[in-house]
Structures are given as C-alpha cells and as structure tokens.
Structure 1
Amino acid sequence: MKRSMVALAGALALALTGGATSSAFATTSITPAQITTGFAGSAYGSYIFNTDKTLTSGPTASASIACTGATGKTASNNVSGLNVPAIGTVGNANTTVKTVLTTTSKRIEGKSTVAGANLLGGLITAGAITSESTAEKNTAGAFAGTNQTTIADLKVLGIAVNANPAANTVIDLKVPLLGSVGKVTLNGQEKRLVGTTYQVSTTALRVEILKAGLLGLKVGTDIRLGVSNVKLTPPQTGYLAGTGYGTRATLASGLIGSGPTALASVKCAGGTTTANVAAVNIPGAVSAGASVTTATGVLTPEAKSTVVNTIGGVNVLSGVIQVDAIKAETSASRAPGGGAVKLTDTSTFTNLRIAGLPAINASVAPNTVIQVPGLGQVTLHKVSKSSTTIIVTMVEIVLSQALGTLPTGSKIQIGYSNSSVGA
C-alpha cells in the first residue's frame, strides 16, 4: 500500500512538473508585426566626383529613410537628366525607399532607375539602368537580402554587355592608343552583417578613372549610376536625425555649385558631432566669417535631437544683404512614453540689413519672401515642419540672374538646421 501511494504521488508530481516543463521551454512564436528592428536606406540616381572634389555632381534624386522602426514609410525622388562636362549625359532618375510589413517579415526596399547614359564620349552607353536592394528579418530573427541590377542596351567600348550582368563584373576600360585608363564595375553587390546591423547595397554601374589620358578627367574620377543601399539596425527607444551647415549653393541643373560648409549631422543613436570652418566664400555671391555647426542627440531622459549652426559676418553681393550673425537652431523631442514630437525653433538674426528695404530687420517674421533687385527671390527665416521634423533655412536666395560662377536659377542657402525624432 505504501509503495502504491509513493508511486501515485510520483506519477502525480511527474504529471504536474511535466506540464510546467513543457510550458517553460516552449518556443514563443511572434507575428511579423512584433518583429523588432530599425530601418535605414537610401537610393540615388547618380553621383559623380573626383578626389579633390573640383568636380561634384549629386547624389541626384536622393531618397532616404533613416532612424525609424516603423513600416509603411516611403521616400521617393526624381530629377531631370543632366549633362556633366567631360563626363557626358545622364538621363532622368527616379528613386524609392520603403519599409514593408509582409506576411512573414519586416523588410526595407531601395530602388534606383536612371533613364540612360552616354559617358566618356560614347565609350560607355546604356538604356534604362536599374538597381534594387532588399533586406528583411523574419519571425525567427533570421536576416536575408537580395541584390538586382538590370542595364538595357549596355555597351562598353562598343561591345554589347548582358542586361543582367553577374555580381561584381569588372571590365577593363582599355582605350585605343591610351591603354587601360580605368575600370567599369557592373552589378556591384554587398551583403554583410556588421555587428548587429545587416546591410545590403547595389551599384548598377560604376566607372573609376585610374590613369590620366582622357581629356578633362582627373585620376580618381568616380562615376556611380543606379545606387541603392538598405540596412536593418538594432531597435531603440527613439530614432534621431538632423543636419546643419553654414552655406550651400545648388545650380538650377541640380549640380552642386558649392557644397555644404561646416556640415554636421545627428547620429541615429545619439552623441555629439561638430564641424567648423574659419571663413566662407561663394565666389561673386557670398562671403562670411567663421561658421560652426553642433549636432547633438540623446535618448534619455527623452529622445531629443538638437542642431545649431552659427555663421558670422554674412555679406551677400557686396552689401545687398548683410548680417552681423546668424543662428539657425532647431530641436525635436519625444517623451519616454511616446506621443507627439515637440518641435522648437530658436533661430535668430543679429543686425540684418537689406539695401533699399529698411523695414526688414532682425525681427523679420518667419517665411518672409521678398524680391531683391539684382539678386532674386529671398526667403528669410524659412521654416517647414512635419509631425516629426523641423527644417529652418535662415536665408534662401533663388537667383534671377547669374552671379559669379552661379547661373540664373541657382539656389543659395545660408544658416541651415533640421532636427527630427522618429518612431
């Protein structure tokens, strides 16, 4: 009887603990919506530059998504074709980056399409050029990615090339009488896990000039067409973004006449970056003193992005516009519990003067637009906002006539700051 009671007690204990053990070690399944990941991605049509940056075009039609964990987001852009001296022509570009919730995963997709290109005096010609990159994370936590390139009617040195070249195909750019002056890489691909970040990138067509000989081209000239990059990043409590700079000039064609000065950006996971220049000069248009940009991000006690650019002694067109000092300062923050993003603008002018317009001073209202004879349309303290982002440009000029090296229609920006906190 005693033995039977012990056996019965043991059986009962086994039944009870067996149920508990089964529950404790069962694999917890999640839905695709419960997958935790961050997203970052970009795509552009073309980026052309040389080592000393005396030639810079692009990135054109740049579209990007960064510092977010949300699906259902889309960024897109497009730009007309362009003609770059000594390089050739590049067709219209269209780009898209989007985050997607599928039935099995969360995914980010990037796509770039360029309508066609004729480069280096016809040494390289192509019809539509497309690159696509995807990266996804499934409910088991596994990463996967894809790269795809299609180049219609591609010819290199007059020889037709398959529209779907193998990954990382390299062609020697061997020109008659000059020999090898560089290389062409088709369907450039990369997939890799760096720490806990999974990244996928595709460059449909890249040309690198490695030896002198082609008229007007320096060694180090780099031509990239059809580029898409996507990443899956570790999740975090808030996603930060922001950029600031002192000056920038963009030609009506989309070419960069003068790149951003004192450029600094907020890091997605926080921290501080600073950039400064001793003086600024856009020949024939703008001169200024020192410019400093500080970009700061923190995740605790609340997610907050702050960008401050200062620039002193601004002089536009030999005194048409003068400002002793400009401060472009924005911030975006979100409380730990979530909710709406708080956007602030504490930007200021110090002693703003415009020739012939004495009513315009440092207290000018945001988004004031005026026409300045001999210069063009001027927007002062330009502010734009979305639910998560604020952008301030203290002086924006669209030229009504050529100034120095800048043709009619060029845009000059002075004192730029944007801040953002994403979900």
Structure 2
Amino acid sequence: MRPRIGYKKLAAVGVAAVVGVASTIALTSGSASAAPVYGYSGYAFGTDVQTGLANSGPQVISQISCTTDANRKAENDLATANVNEQAIARTVKTDTKAFADERGNGVTSTATAADIKLGSLLSLTGAKTTTTAWVKNGNLHYTGSTTFAGVKIGNVVVPSLLKAKPNTKVAVPGLGYVVLNRVGGVKTESGIYSYAQAVVVHATVKNRYLPVGVDVAVLKTRAEVTKPATAMVMGDAYGTKASVDKLVTSSPTSYQATCQGTEGKTVRVAVAELNIPKVAHVGGVYTTKNGRIGADKSDVNFTSHVAGVKVGNLSIGAIESAASASKTKDGKVSLNSSSSIASIKVGNKVYPVQTGENAELEIPGIAKLTFNQVVRQSRYISVNALVIDVYSLNTKVVVGHSAAGVIG
C-alpha cells in the first residue's frame, strides 16, 4: 500500500559535522524468567530538526534505547551541532543514565552547551537542560528544568530569562520566536516519560540561518521508565538511512522507537518526498508502531512504508517491512518479520525481485541489492526490506527498516 502524502515536497538540506546517530536497537537476549522487570530508556540531543530539513536528524546523541539494566549509561561531549551548515550549538555535552537507588528506579538525561547562537539575532551562553523520570513505591514522578548563564536577544541582554519559566515564548526580530525551558511529563498505564528542551527555535521570517518554517530543538532531553511488567517491548522503524562506510550522511527518516509500547494505539510518523543529497530521491515515507506491556503479556509491532526510491537510473517501487515480538507470562516468546518490494527497473529493463532472506542481486556497474535482510536472536528480530550498495558513491542506503523485541 502506498502512503497518501499530503505534505509539500521537501528538499533535504545537507548537514555538516553530524556527530552520532540514533542507533538501531541493540541485540538483546535474556533469562526466560517471568519475574517482573523495569524498563529504562532516554536520550539527550544537542540539536534536533523537527520540521523542514528532512535529513537533519538528531546530533551529539547520548541514548539508551531500552534496557532493564539500571547501570546503563551513554555520554557524548565536546562537539558542535550544525544545522543548515550553521554552527548553532558549541561545546555540547550530553549524557543519559539509568539508576536504581534510594530515589527509586529511573532515568536522568542532561545536555549542556557553552553557547547557542544564531549570528547577532540570538545568543544563549552556559545552557543546561535536564529531565528525570522515576518510579518509587509504585508512584510515578518527574522533574525538568533549563538554566542559562547569559541571554541576549538581538543586542538586548535579558537577565530575567536566565531561569525562564516553563514554556516561555520570546519574539526574536529577524528570525521569528523561541520557546525557552520547554518541559513536561506524561504518565501512561505503563509508566512515565518526561522531556525538557533548552530552546526551540521557530524560523517564521526569512533569515540567513534557517529556512522559513523550520523548527529546531536545541539541548533536547527525554527520560522514560516503565512500571514492572512481564517484559519490556523494544524496537524501531525508519524509512531510509544512508551511510558512507560508518559515517551516516542521511539520518533515519520517519524514525520511531519504544520501550513502553503505545497502550495498544497505533502511532504513525510520516514525511513527504525528500532527497538524500547526491545519492537518491525517496518517495513518501511513513512508519507505525503499536505495542503494550502488561502483567500477562507484552507485545509490539513496527512497520515501515516507502513509496519508492530512485538512485540514478535505478528505480525501485513501493517498499514495505514489518517486525513483531511478544512474550506471555509463561515465558513464551514469538518473533515475526516480513518485507515486500513492488518492482525494480534500470531504464526500461525490469529485474526480478528476489525472495527469501538475505537474497542478493548484482546490477553490474550500478549497485548490489540485498533483499529481506533479517537478523534474529532469541528475543529480537530486525528486517531491512532492501539494502542498496551504490558502487559509484561507496554509499549504502537502507530502505524499509523494522525491528522488534522483548526484554525480561
């Protein structure tokens, strides 16, 4: 099924010095015990483009995707976050840490930057944002906050914003507006997640730094913890991702992940057509996730849908994948995956779509195609519907990724 695209066509803008990418869920196995477990996940990003720049994914990332290990942590530091070839945040440090101590069971995520700057329009120095979510004695809690050492809007110093109230909106002449200290927390039937963002930049007028209509979150954190359950559900999905060797040149599109599930609701994330600069043109992309954790059963399902991909003369039709995982209280684990590709052409020549897992097709001088690339472990399964190795660019494009698993 092809996605219905109601958005305007997006042209992806190159991003310099991307440091870190949202990684695929780590392969995890575990005990067959049905004892209840806590789940921990969270992240801290230097910057995250929320609209408009389709291949500008999160930068300077510290992330724990989903784990039952209360000692898990991730750190990233001394980096510059760039958006639209502009160095927006400098000397960025991020960390995400799980804990199980006198505070309870939870996660803390923190991000700092020496300065956040858009020319003479906006200057924020000594920025720090943090959020914590935790469970103690069955009760759910969260905190979140942002502080600055200095705030300047245009040429005006604004000391009243050093400890801005939550969700403070400030006009920035020549740019649009910013929201400082954006914080919040959401309790679900499964647990709690909290978020904090030092500043969200909204470009609403023409300027030299960001295209009109683009929103950029700078120093973005999230902390998430689940109540005890039969198992944690995990997984992720995205439409496309491109890399040269180990360097990601286009971040995952329509990316989704989970640890708590979705309380049985289907969550859909979509982007319109986009370009991976100098590599490929991608049709509309959308992903879905649906999952639930509980005392009797935990399950999750991810899907990925891409309208089509063009790489030079290589044209590939609609691409889809799906992955699901579940565990019952008696310890029974189920894993499933599927993928499909509508067609493959080079000019007027039609090539057969290979079936079976990890099947390959060589197109001399153009690319190697790997179909239905599957990885399995005892409690985890992932599938890439198609992997394109583009010879002339030394570039790998993953299309239609879905993964699912259970922990505990």
TM range (shorter): 0.5 to 0.7
Secondary structure of the residue that 1:91 maps to in structure 2?
strand
Matches within 5 A, 1:383-402: 383-384=374-375, 388-397=379-388
Matches within 5 A, 1:283-322: 286=280, 295-297=289-291, 302-309=297-304, 316-319=311-314
In structure 1, the partner of 2:97 is 98
Q: Structure 1 residues 58 and 272, CA, compared in 2 at 3 Å: closer, same or farther? A: same
Between stretches 143-152 and 363-372, larger displacement belongs to 363-372
Take 1:187 and 1:370, find their aligned partners in 2: how far apart are those partners? Answer: 52
2:166 is the alignment partner of 1:166? no
Give the unaligned 5+ runs of structure 2. 1-34
Corresponding letter in the other structure for 1:47 = D
Q: Structure 1 residues 292 and 130, CA, compared in 2 at 3 Å: closer, same or farther? A: closer
Take 2:143 and 2:366, find their aligned partners in 1: how far apart are those partners? Answer: 52
**1:59-109 Cα distance to aligned partner (Å, 9 max, x none):** 324454566666333355679534433854333654333321103522211
2:146 is the alignment partner of 1:149? yes
Displacement of 1:369: 10
2:42 is the alignment partner of 1:41? yes
In structure 2, the partner of 1:12 is none
Take 1:65 and 1:122, find their aligned partners in 2: how far apart are those partners? Answer: 36
Q: Structure 1 residues 93 and 421, CA, compared in 2 at 3 Å: closer, same or farther? A: farther
Q: Which of the pair has more CA radius of gyration?
A: 1
Displacement of 1:197: 5.2
Corresponding letter in the other structure for 1:260 = S
TM-score, normalised to structure 2's length? 0.65
2:231 is the alignment partner of 1:238? yes
In structure 2, the partner of 1:271 is 264
Take 1:48 and 1:278, find their aligned partners in 2: how far apart are those partners? Answer: 13
More strand, by proportion:
2
Corresponding letter in the other structure for 1:72 = N
**1:325-377 Cα distance to aligned partner (Å, 9 max, x none):** 655333323242337x554444466776889xx999715763969897456x8
In structure 1, the partner of 2:57 is 58
**1:261-282 Cα distance to aligned partner (Å, 9 max, x none):** 9x89897055363769999674
Take 2:80 and 2:103, find their aligned partners in 1: how far apart are those partners? Answer: 39
Corresponding letter in the other structure for 1:330 = A
In structure 1, the partner of 2:405 is 420
Between stretches 288-297 and 218-227, larger displacement belongs to 288-297
Secondary structure of the residue that 2:266 maps to in structure 1?
strand
Displacement of 1:187: 3.5
Take 2:242 and 2:144, find their aligned partners in 1: how far apart are those partners? Answer: 34
Judge conservation of contact 2:46–2:60 (CA < 8 Å) in 1: yes
Displacement of 1:130: 3.0
**1:140-189 Cα distance to aligned partner (Å, 9 max, x none):** x45544434354565443456669921427584454xx6xx544444444
Q: Percent of pairs identical after alignment? A: 21
Take 1:122 and 1:409, find their aligned partners in 2: how far apart are those partners? Answer: 40
Corresponding letter in the other structure for 1:99 = A
Pick the aligned partner of 1:362 from 354, 357, 362.
354
Pick the aligned partner of 2:330 from 337, 345, 369.
337
**1:93-145 Cα distance to aligned partner (Å, 9 max, x none):** 543333211035222111223464431x2333455643221123334x45544
Take 2:406 and 2:47, find their aligned partners in 1: how far apart are those partners? Answer: 29
Judge conservation of contact 1:137–1:143 (CA < 8 Å) in 2: yes
Take 2:207 and 2:273, find their aligned partners in 1: how far apart are those partners? Answer: 33
CA RMSD of aligned residues (A): 5.1
Higher relative contact order (CA 8 A, sep 6+): 2
Take 1:228 and 1:264, find their aligned partners in 2: how far apart are those partners? Answer: 15
Q: Structure 1 residues 142 and 311, CA, compared in 2 at 3 Å: closer, same or farther? A: closer
Judge conservation of contact 1:207–1:224 (CA < 8 Å) in 2: yes
More helix, by proportion:
1
Matches within 5 A, 1:14-29: none
Displacement of 1:421: 1.9
In structure 2, the partner of 1:130 is 128
Take 2:307 and 2:180, find their aligned partners in 1: how far apart are those partners? Answer: 46
Take 2:252 and 2:190, find their aligned partners in 1: how far apart are those partners? Answer: 37
Q: Structure 1 residues 214 and 334, CA, compared in 2 at 3 Å: closer, same or farther? A: same
